[in-house]
């Protein structure tokens, strides 16, 4: 009986398992990290932090490029290529409403 309570308590303490992010989410995250590192570099006031921030920029840029290459190999894009819907031009729409009346 105590083990049942213990199991419930431990399951409550254990965070929910998240699925690993897909490649597209990883690319977007890497891009955000790279842009954040560039932004941080613009506001460095301590000269000792310059080397660290430059390293962070280079590392995050390389990660972003590697993930982009992997996405390209798997034909993953940020958007799906679809033909735009066909719409009537304003002249055709006016002509169609005149015929209906």
Domain locations in the chain? 21-74
Return the higher-pLDDT residue of 62 and 81. Answer: 62
d(CA 59, CA 56): 5
Nearest to 66, CA basis, from 19, 18, 20, 34: 34
pLDDT tens readout for residues 1-47: 566 777 777 666 665 555 556 888 888 899 999 999 999 999 988 88
Helix (H, G, I), strand (E, B) or coil at 6: helix
Q: Among 57, 64, 60, which residue's Cα sits nearest to residue 26?
A: 64
As a whole number of Å, the end-to-end CA separation of the chain is 79
Q: What is the 3-state secondary structure (H, E, C) of 41-66?
A: HCCCCCHHHHHHHHHHHHHHHHHHHH
Sign of CA dihedral 91, 97, 98, 100: positive
pLDDT of residue 49 exceeding 60, the answer is yes
* CA 15 from centre of chain: 23
């Amino acid at each position: 009986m105590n083990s049942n309570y213990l199991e419930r308590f431990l399951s409550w303490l254990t965070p929910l398992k998240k699925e690993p992010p897909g490649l597209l989410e990883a690319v977007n995250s890497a891009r955000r990290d790279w842009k954040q590192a560039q932004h941080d570099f613009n506001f460095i006031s301590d000269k000792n932090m310059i080397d660290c921030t430059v390293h962070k920029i280079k590392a995050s840029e390389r990660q972003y490029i590697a993930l982009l290459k992997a996405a390209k190999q798997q034909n993953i894009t940020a958007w799906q290529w679809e033909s735009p819907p066909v719409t009537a031009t304003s002249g055709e729409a006016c002509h169609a409403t005149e015929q209906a009346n």
